[in-house]
Amino acid sequence: MLYIVAFTEEGQNLMRDFYQDFDRPDLPIVVSDGLQAASLAADSGQDVETFSNVTGTGPGISDDVATGLEAAREQVGEDIDKIFVRESYDAAAVLSLARVAAGSDDPRDIGDAIPQVTSGDGIDVSPENLVEGINTAADGDDIVYSGVSRPLEFNENGSVATPVYEYYEWGTDDNGDPTLQTIDIISGTN
């Protein structure tokens, strides 16, 4: 097996060189989230059939988050779901809420406040009512942030305790356009 960790341009070059110089359709290739793009096969000079030995991993989403993203995509009229956009939004929201809940700019105080704004009892806060959540936390009331990427819980080490990963492959849609097709959504407790 070959595991490729790269971003788009470097990954395209690696894949192009691999298929030109070492074409081994029997060799499983797994790519990291930096290459999670439906156009990777074509951008590497290959067709989707040639990519049948390539799979990838990346951040996954639960069914309820996928439904919300589809509704947002229809409302905005374009694909707003890019790699790590959900996770980046959640990180900024959690830090903002924890800072206000801690009443301090000290990183240790903010770190200590993260579990109290992401678990337990309190007013549900989501992107739809984030400003209200910040004001509620500033007033000293308990809140629980539900993330865009997934419900967030952190373990004692500060890591996300409920990760979700997607395992995918390349395929085509009904129009013959390249697409990423989910093989499995893997979630667990960390």
pLDDT at res. 78? 63
Residues above pLDDT 90, as percent of the chain: 42
pLDDT at res. 64? 58
| 8 against 72, higher pLDDT | 8
* Selection from 35-44, 54-63, 67-76 with the highest mean pLDDT: 35-44
Residues above pLDDT 70, as percent of the chain: 85
Q: Which two tokens stand for residue 4?
A: 């490729």
Q: Render 78-109 in DSSP notation, one character per residue.
A: S----TTHHHHHHHHHHHHHHHHHHTS--HHH
| 64 against 34, higher pLDDT | 34
Neighbours of 174 (CB within 10 A): 6
pLDDT at res. 41? 92
Mean pLDDT of 126-154: 88
Mean pLDDT of 148-176: 81
**What is the C-alpha separation between 132 and 148, in angstroms, rounded?**
16
pLDDT at 13 over 60: yes
Model confidence at 108, in pLDDT bands (50, 70, 90)? very high
pLDDT at res. 120? 84
Can you tell me which residue has the tokens 């990427």?
149
pLDDT at res. 76? 60
Determine the number of helices (DSSP H) and then strands (DSSP E) in the chain: 6, 7
pLDDT at 123 over 90: yes
Q: Which two tokens stand for residue 18?
A: 């691999």
pLDDT at 62 over 70: no
**What is the C-alpha separation between 90 and 153, in angstroms, rounded?**
12
Q: Which 3 state secondary structure label does DSSP give 114?
A: helix
What is the rounded (10 degree) CA torsion for 99, 100, 105, 106? -60
pLDDT at res. 30? 95
Residue-range domains of the chain with CATH: 2-60+162-187 (3.40.50.2300), 64-145 (no CATH)
**What is the C-alpha separation between 103 and 21, in angstroms, rounded?**
59
